[in-house]
Amino acid sequence: MSLRLRLTLYYGLVLGAFLLLSGAVVYGVFHRALHQILDESLREAAAIAVSELRIRDSGHLQNRLPGAIALTVYDAQGRPLWQLGQPWVEVELKTGFLSVQGTRVYNHPLPGGGVVQVMRSQQEALSTLDKTQKTLLMGLPVLFVLALGMGYLLADRSLRPVDQVTRLAEAIAASERYGQRVPESPGQDEMARLTRTFNAMLGRLERTIEREKAFALAAAHELRTPLSLLQGRASLSLERPRTPEQYREALAEIARTAEDLAQVIEALLLLARTHVPFEPEPVELDLLALEVQEQLEGLAKEKQVRVMLELEAHPLPGPPPYPPHRHRQPALQRHQIRAGGWAGLAAHPARGGVRGGGGSRRRPGYPPGAARAPPAALPARRGHPGGAGGRAGPDFGHGHCRAARGAPPARESPRGGAAGPVGAAGGESAVNPQIRPVLPADFAALTEVAYATGFFGRSAEVYFPAKVLFGELWVRPYLGPAGGCGLVLEEEGQILGYVLGAQDPIAYRWYFLRGLPRWLRQAAQGCYPGLGTSLRFLLRALRYPSKAAPEGLFPAHLHLNLLGGVRGQGWGERLLRAHLTCLQQRGLPGVQLSTTEENRAALGLYHKLGFREYTRWTSLLWAPWLGRAVVHLILVLPL
């Protein structure tokens, strides 16, 4: 049964019950009203008879009595003294109203003990009630059928957008053209919300499919290279007879290529397992690092380098050590050793992972200007990023207060434990800043950079002393579902700058709605020192709100921050170009940012990269701290 018919059936059941109840009420009220009118006429006739007893003029009295009435006056002994008309029923002289054989009788007592009896036929009232009953029995079904038809038409009209959504979904499933959208219904009703939500779902589905296609293309490229090497080496070896040594060399090269291919495949399998739940078990990170070292020994001897480790045993709960945990790190370090650069390996028990590092060659496939950074930690996954030993960086969940930790010092574990570098280069070279993707574990270091530059390049402590809350409001949103394509500039473990952005405006707003109760609860617990002065800025931000470009054209927005020591060296442009390239690859139509005329150096960079001014306005937001108004700008860049 279709939804239209079900809605019409439910509507018909409710309407039928309502009409039956209404008919019964109307009939009851009409019945009571007719009897009240009849009784009032009898009471009026008795009153007139009492007032005219001395006259006893039948003609005169008949003219004054309402309707066809028989009236009889009885004395105290019940003998008739005078009458008007012939009574057609005999009724006892009992005071009040009586109904006898279709006749309504009223006995009115006289002061001397007699009774005035007035009677009138109920036939007229009963006939009227009968006509009313027939009218209701015939009219209500007709009204019910008409209302049922109108209800079906209204249901059909209301569900037409649903039919459009259904037909479009069927067309998309048949043609696989995921760029189509449903015509949005006007207004703010349920259908309008349904069509907007469905279009948003189609947009996310399209982006997901495009990412999967890009991933499949990248995986095919990674697999094609070792397969081509295998085929080429085997064909070359079989072209003509060769010496046993040449065959052994060819087989060794084929074995190494096959090993690289197996590592790529196992890494893909590991990625496929990320959604599968697991039971945590102890993982010895030092033993895992030793296995990595043993697998690198052969190549290290071949390249005449020495591998050194300083580790401390520290078991952590995590997933079983699947083969990709043992293969990915040697593959990364092997690449660095072959490239002739430096390679690093460290086990951080407090972070719950093994971390590797390498030279400064650019990552294949990564946007130009983004140097290859030391590979990120391989966390012992626990259902969320950040490692098995707890969430990396400060955790403000469950109503507890924890102080934000600063950025970890170079070559040192920020919470204790062992961190041992592995030297893998014949000579020493200067360490340069490197660009890498942002990680959730970078939250504390990113907060330090954002806070140090949050007031026109200076510390935000001037207007927002609550540093912990500052990070929760202006850093953490970009490390969750709303963020993407974030990059950091790092040198020897120290983050010197970053570019962060949000790609999903709905997820970005949802972060603040979801976090507001927690922030209020923690503020009441005193978790945010300096909250009073900080609230002044937040209230002024509500009073002088910022503006924005249309999110349909420019859904993404970004923030670029660099510490003073690396400004003016081109790192901001490299970060920004890499970030914009990532946004383009994800299919976003445009990006916007908010800045001020005070930021003249960055304005030059933005205009150089193609940003144009969308709007500007003068705001008094910063007047208490600058002593003057500031011109704000919204810059946009179509991608």
What average pLDDT does the chain have? 75
- pLDDT above 90 for 578: yes
Does 418 have pLDDT greater than 50? Answer: no
- pLDDT score, position 380: 33
Burial letters 618-631, b for 16+ CB under 10 A, else e: ebebbeeeeeeebe
Rounded distance, CA 237 to CA 218, Å?
29
More confident residue, 176 or 68: 176
- Taking alpha carbons only, the member of 266, 253, 373 closest to residue 324 is 266
3: part of which helix (H) or strand (E)? helix 3-51
Residue 468 has pLDDT above 80, yes or no: yes
Q: What pLDDT score was predicted for residue 318?
A: 53
395 neighbors 402 (Cβ within 8 angstroms): yes
Residue 332 has a pLDDT of 46
Residue 494, Cβ neighbours under 10 Å: how many?
A: 16
Q: For residue 98, what pLDDT is reported? A: 84
Please say if the pLDDT value at position 427 is more than 50: no
User: Which DSSP string corresponds to 415-479?
Assistant: TBS--------SS------EEEE--GGGHHHHHHHHHHTTBTTB-GGGT---HHHHHHHHTGGGG
Helix (H) or strand (E) holding 318: strand 315-318
Determine what percent of the chain is predicted with pLDDT higher than 70: 75
Give the model's pLDDT for residue 339: 46
Task: Please tell me which residue, 406 or 22, carries the higher pLDDT value.
Answer: 22
For residues 63-76, give the mean pLDDT: 72
- Two tokens at 354? 């093994």
Give the percent of the chain with pLDDT over 90. 17
As a whole number, mean pLDDT of residues 605-628 equals 91
Short-list 388, 425, 394, CA closest to 407 = 394
pLDDT one-digit tens code per residue, 200-210: 888 888 888 88
* Res. 345: pLDDT tops 60: no
Ranked by mean pLDDT, which of 60-64, 209-213, 322-326, 404-408 comes out on top?
209-213
Q: Between 561 and 370, name the one with better pLDDT.
A: 561
Asked if 90 contacts 105 with a C-beta cutoff of 8 angstroms, the reply is no
Higher-pLDDT residue of 116, 273: 116
Pairing status of strand 96-100 against strand 487-491: unpaired
pLDDT of residue 560: 93
Residue 137: is its pLDDT beyond 70?
yes
Q: Which residue has the higher pLDDT, 57 or 272?
A: 272
Task: Give the CA distances from residue 523 to residues 441, 528, 529, in Å, rounded to whole numbers and listed in that order.
Answer: 24, 6, 9
Instruction: Determine whether 208 is exposed, middle or buried from the number of CB atoms within 10 Å of its CB (0-12, 13-18, 19+).
Output: exposed
* Angle ∠(452,454,459) on CA atoms, nearest 5: 40
In DSSP terms, 378 is beta-bridged to 354
Q: Is the dihedral of CA 311, 489, 549, 458 positive or negative?
A: positive
The values of phi and psi at residue 48, to 5°, are -65, -40
Determine if residue 560 is left, alpha or beta; phi over 0 gives left, psi from -120 to 50 gives alpha, anything else beta: beta
How much is the pTM? 0.39
Supply the pLDDT for residue 93.
78
d(CA 369, CA 434): 9
User: Is residue 219's pLDDT more than 50?
Assistant: yes
* pLDDT classification of 579: cutoffs 50, 70, 90: very high
pLDDT at 402 over 50: no
> Per-residue confidence at 63, pLDDT binned at 50, 70, 90?
low
Distance from the first to the final alpha carbon of the chain: 48
Q: What is the pLDDT of residue 471?
A: 92
Q: Residue 629 is encoded by which pair of tokens?
A: 């108004």
Mean pLDDT value across residues 524-540: 86
pLDDT computed for residue 105 by the predictor: 87
Mean pLDDT value of segment 494-505: 91
CA distance 162 to 244: 73
pLDDT digits (tens, 9 = 90+) for 43-57: 888 887 777 665 555
Q: State the burial class of residue 346 (Cβ atoms within 10 Å of its Cβ: 0-12, 13-18, 19+).
A: buried
Q: Provide the pLDDT for residue 322.
A: 45
Q: Identify the pLDDT of residue 593.
A: 94
User: pLDDT at residue 64 above 90?
Assistant: no
Confidence at residue 394, expressed as pLDDT on a 0 to 100 scale: 34
pLDDT of 65 reads: 65
pLDDT at 211 over 70: yes
Rg (CA), the chain: 45
Phi/psi zone of residue 597: left (φ > 0), alpha (ψ -120 to 50 degrees), beta?
A: alpha
Per-residue confidence (pLDDT) for residue 637, from 0 to 100: 94
Going by pLDDT thresholds of 50, 70 and 90, the confidence category of residue 622 is: very high
pLDDT of the residue at 489: 92
pLDDT at 588: 92
* pLDDT tens, position by position, 227-269: 887 888 788 888 888 888 888 888 888 888 888 788 778 777 7
Predicted local distance difference test score (pLDDT) of residue 273: 65
**Distance, CA of 493 to CA of 294 (rounded, Å):** 25
142-146, 215-219, 452-456: least confident range: 215-219
pLDDT over 80 at 290, yes or no: no
> CA-CA distance, 399 to 522, in Å (whole number)?
6
Residue-wise pLDDT for 365-392, tens only, equals: 334 444 333 333 333 333 333 333 333 3
DSSP 362-375: BPTTSPTT-BPPPP
Q: Stretch 450-462: mean pLDDT, rounded?
A: 90
Q: Tell me which residue has tokens 């993982």.
A: 283
Instruction: Determine which helix (DSSP H) or strand (DSSP E) holds 285, and give its type and residue range.
Output: helix 285-302
Range with lowest mean pLDDT among 26-40, 117-131, 186-200: 186-200
SS3 label, residue 638: strand
C-alpha distance from residue 302 to each of 222, 248, 305, 382, 425 (Å): 25, 17, 8, 38, 12
Q: Of 555 and 316, which is predicted with more confidence?
A: 555
Instruction: Identify the band that residue 393 occupies on the pLDDT scale cut at 50, 70 and 90.
Output: very low
Range scoring the smallest mean pLDDT among 293-307, 477-491, 608-622: 293-307
Joined together, the tokens standing for residue 157 give 């009209």
Residues with Cβ within 8 Å of residue 592, at least 6 apart in sequence: 548, 549, 554, 556, 557, 614, 634, 635, 636, 637
